Every structure is written in structure tokens, then in C-alpha cells.
Chains A and B, each alone.
Chain A
Amino acid sequence: MNELDLLTAITVFVLSVLVGVEVISKVPATLHTPLMSGSNSVHGIVVIGAMLIAAESHTWLGYVLAFVAMVFGAMNVVGGYVVTDRMLEMFRARPSEKKDV
């Protein structure tokens, strides 16, 4: 790991914050709960980190930590996406508003 990597990582960090602010400030209040649940599933990407540490572990303590991290991460990813989908499925414009037609 060299200095260039660190600089790149910090650049990515700062740009991500700006992109996040730009994208998310346009979401209406109606969708704030699904947004939070959806962004919750995005941080489930931590499961990839858990997989990488499972691949590097060689001690029993390392295995235990990696196992717990895997359980947490997988729960976060799967649960997050499924529950967000369940919520969004309920947000529909229903044909009942036909009175203006």
C-alpha cells in the first residue's frame, strides 16, 4: 500500500459523500423510510469485507470473528433488500382515482 492508494481512497471518499448528498436530497419525504431501508441494504456491502477476512483467517479467534461478521453482513444484505422491496411494493397509484377522468 503506497501513498497514491491513500490519496485515491480519500478522493473516492469525498466524491462519494458529494454524490450521496446530490442523489438523496431529491428523494421526497413519502419515500424516506424505504430510502433508509434501501441505503441500509447498501451498507450490507460490508459482507464483502467479511468474506475477505474469512479468506485471510488462520486462527480460531479469526474464524470466530469472521463467522460472526459473515452472519451479520449476510443478514444485513438479504434482510435489507427483501424488506425494502416489500415496502415499495405497497407504494402504488391505485386506479380508484378515476373521478377526474
Chain B
Amino acid sequence: MDTVSNAVHYVFLGTAACFVLGLHLMNHPRTARRGNAISAGAMAVAIAATVWLVIHEDTITTTGWLVLVSGGLIGAALGLYAAREVKMTAMPQLVSLFNAVGGGAAALIAVNDLLQADHPAALGARVSLPGALDIVIGAVTFSGSLIAAGKLQGVVSGAPVVFPGARLLNVLLPASFVAGTVWLVLSPDSLGALYGLVAVALLFGVTMVLPIGGADMPVVIALLNAFTGSAVAMAGFVLNETALIIAGMLVSSSGGILTKLMADAMNRSIANIVVGGFGTGDSAPAAVAGGAPAQVRPVSADDVAIQLAYASKVIFVPGYGLAAAQAQHELGDLAKLLSDNGVDVSYAVHPVAGRMPGHMNVLLAEANVPYTQLKEMDDVNPEFPQADVALVIGANDVTNPIARKPGNAISGMPILDVDKAKSVVVIKRSMGHGYAGIDNELYTDPKTGMFFTDAKKGLSELKSAVGEFVG
């Protein structure tokens, strides 16, 4: 190694340290933004150092420069545009898209490396094995993330898509990865093995994500994030760049931890979600004891407003219905009006509320909700018995007390103890079921009032009604 190449590797080492520091600073809302800036600055320095290395090594052709600069500028412009324009409700799609391009780039690096080598056979398993893994993981992530983004955006049906033979295919395709990987390792210059592996991996990404329902997306996105990280780390092995290995595995562990947390919050195993189940219709809706439809108590905006205005403690429970109606601003306004009048306001956020881990918190932050009012499940559950009103907005399964009883689709799932509040109001458009497809006992509880309306409309009605009482 010469001096320049050595210097560049020291820069990469510093960059990796800054990534760790940047992620570490993400542990508090106050420091998180600085952490992101440190990470971004380090990335910029690493890219500049790579340009220096490329100039110094001088193997690049004029066309190579053109490719590097134009590709970089076009990609940067697309990324900047997408990042500036995206709505906070569409964040999961964007994260999924970035997973796709990250995984795709990693796979392309391995393909290119295997194609460029003059005598790939001479590379040995040191390059061909991580190369094959990079291609498999990268290509699965690419097509899988695109399907996930399509589902979230509504381009691809959000319902689980099941076609005949899908399960069989999901067994056959991974088997062919193993065969393809072994083939490619044994004969790294076989183009058939290379292209075959790319094709089956792309196909598997599609068949893996298509049968997964919309409710499971927080888990899927976290899982694909972990995959992208591993693909990037494998690209690091291929290119012998430790910076890629470190950064890739940091991301992979982050994705892995979040996948586990999300799966736990739904009381399901990761395998169970990937193979399909909840929301796919194959878990039969639990039969509710007794044939007679249970009685619910409908309430009006004025009823609810009186309760809220004279409460001393109110807990809001936002769910997917709030996000779908994009009513986070109306909720924020209502909460501010109440807290300005001395009501103790907090938000109970279930880990899987929204469409990716922590998504609900982002939506509420967008509506200017102070993060000090956002409470996680374990912290807020003991507070429900002191709450005068728990206002549930479009959250269903995560508030269903039936989860505490055995023998139904959501048994054992950690829930918010909304039913322990002194009174409960549920804003919901109809008595429709949640993803789990079972009745919610909370709605028939005598202390629960049902306010049947659209979340956005209902919350602005509440705000003006409350305004009458406190104004």
C-alpha cells in the first residue's frame, strides 16, 4: 500500500467511527439531529477521499469519469428531490425505496466485480463467495423493497397477494440460491451461474413480499433494512473495503433489532410474518361468544368535548386510522388547546402504530407535538387508571382487551391498557374490524362512547366544541 491509499484508509476508519457516534447520538431527540449531521459530514469526507484515491490510482478512463460524475449528480438530484417532496405519511415508502437502491447498488458492485476480473477463476472463494451472497441478498432486497414500496403507495395491492404455488416457489427459490451460489463459487467465470443467480434472487424478492399484508409492513421494512446492510457488507468483502463492512453491519444490526422489536410488539415470530399469516385470511376470525350483536353507545362531538374540557388528564391513543386520514395536525391542535387550559395531555404510542417502526411519532412530531408528551407503551400503561378520558383515534387491535385472554388471533399481543381509563372515547368511521379481523371488546364496554366519524373531521369538530367550553 502506498501513502495515498494508506491515508484514504485512515479517513475511512474515521468515517466509520463517526457513523457509530452519529447513531449513538440518535438515542435522544435533543442530540439526534447533530448525530445525523456528523454522520453526513463523515460520508462527504469519505466520498471526497475516494475521489482522491481514484485520481491517484489513475486507472479510470474518461468514460469512467463521465459515468462516475454524471451518475453521482443524477442520483444526488433524484435523492434530494424525493427527500424534500415526500410527505411524512409517505415516509415508509421512501425508506423502502432507499433500501431498494442501496441493495441494488451492492448487487451491481458484485456483478461488475465478477465480470471485470480477467480471470475470475483466479479470484478464489475469497471473492466469489461474498460476491454470490452479495448478489443474492442485494437483488432480493432490491425487488422486495420495490414491492413493499408499491404496496405502501397503493400501486401494488396492500392485501396479501397469494397465487397458486407461491409457497412451493418460496421453498424452491432459496434452494436454487444455494445451488447457484455453490455453482458460482466453483466456477466464478460462468456467466450462466451469475445471471441465473441474479434472476432467481430478483424473483424471490417479489414472491417473498407479495403475500405479506399491509399490517406487517413495519416488520418487513425493518427486515429489508437489515438485508440491505448485509448486502453492503458483502460488497465490502468483495472490494476489500472495511468501511463498507463496518457501515453495512451497523445498519444490519439496527434493522435486525427493529425487526425483532416489531415482531415482539405483534406477538409473532419473524418467520411467521415472512411466511404469511395474520391478515392473510388464513387465521380464521375468532368466533365471538354469544350470537346477539353487542350494544355500543354512540356519542356526539359535544358529549366528548364536555368530557375533554373538564378532564384533568387525557391520554390520546393514535393509530393507523389517524395516519390514513392525515389528521395529525387536527389532533395536535386539539391537544394544544387542552394543555393550554391546564389539562394534562399525553399520547400513548404502540410500537407498531403506523407503517414502519416509530412512524406515529414522526407524524405527531410533524404536527408540533412536543416529544415530552409522546409516551411508549410500557411507560404509559400504568397511567391509564388515572386518566379521565382515553381518546382512541383509529387504533383497533392494539387496544383490544381480548389480547389478554387466550385462544384468539391476538392472544398475548402487548396492548395499550385503554380499557383501564375512567372513560373511553373511540373515534372510528364504522364498526369495521382491524387487521386481525376480530371484534374489539373495548367498543362494547359500558364506559366507552363511540364517535362515528372520519378522524380529521371528528377532531376539528371536537376542537371547535372544546373551544366553546374553555373560550
Contact = CB atoms under 8 A, between A and B. Distances in A.
Contacts, number: 397
Interface string B219-234: 0011001001100110
Given A38-B22, A63-B63, A82-B80, 12 more contacts: A9-B237, A36-B95, A38-B32, A39-B255, A42-B251, A45-B15, A48-B47, A50-B109, A52-B54, A55-B57, A76-B101, A82-B83
16 contacts: A1-B240, A12-B242, A21-B253, A30-B374, A31-B32, A33-B356, A35-B26, A36-B95, A39-B255, A43-B232, A48-B241, A51-B47, A68-B105, A76-B101, A82-B79, A99-B342
Given A9-B237, A48-B241, A66-B67, A36 B108 contact: no
Interface string A1-30: 100011011001100110111011111111
Contacts of A6: 126
Most buried by B among A5, A16, A56, A94: A16
A20 B258 CA distance: 12
Interface in B431-469: none
B57 A33 contact: no
Given A23-B23, A48-B46, A69-B71, A33 B98 contact: no
Interface in B322-337: 336
A20 B24 CA distance: 9
Contacts of B75: 47, 70-76, 78
B254 A1 contact: no
B61 interface: yes
B382 interface: no
B33 A78 contact: no
Interface of A: 1, 5-6, 8-9, 12-13, 16-17, 19-21, 23-59, 61-63, 65-94, 96-97, 99
Interface string B250-270: 111111111001000000000
A36 B356 contact: yes
A82 to B, nearest CB: 4
B362 interface: yes
Interface stretch (B86-94, B172-180, B391-399): B86-94
B67 A54 contact: yes
Interface string B89-130: 001001100110110111011011101100000000011000
A43 B255 CA distance: 11
Most buried by A among B51, B75, B80, B109: B75
A37 to B, nearest CB: 6
Contact of A85 (B36, B257, B368): B36
The interface residues of chain B, by DSSP majority, are classed as: helix
Contacts of A27: 23, 26-27
A68 B108 contact: yes
B392 to A, nearest CB: 19
B143 to A, nearest CB: 13
Given A38-B26, A45-B243, A96-B336, A74 B71 contact: yes
B20 A49 contact: no
Interface of B: 15, 19-20, 22-24, 26-30, 32-33, 35-37, 39-40, 43, 46-47, 50-51, 54, 57, 59-61, 63-64, 67-68, 70-76, 78-80, 82-84, 86, 88, 91, 94-95, 98-99, 101-102, 104-106, 108-109, 111-113, 115-116, 126-127, 221-222, 225, 228-229, 232-233, 235-258, 261, 336, 339-340, 342, 349, 351, 354, 356-359, 361-362, 365-366, 368, 370-374, 376-377
Contacts of B73: 74
B338 to A, nearest CB: 11
B461 to A, nearest CB: 23
Contacts of B365: 87, 90-92
Contact of B366 (A9, A84, A90): A90
Contacts of A63: 63-64, 67
Contact of A20 (B36, B239, B254): B254
A24 B105 contact: no
Contact of B82 (A28, A57, A75): A75
Most buried by A among B27, B68, B225, B232: B68
A51 B358 contact: no
Contacts of A79: 78-80, 82-83, 94, 98
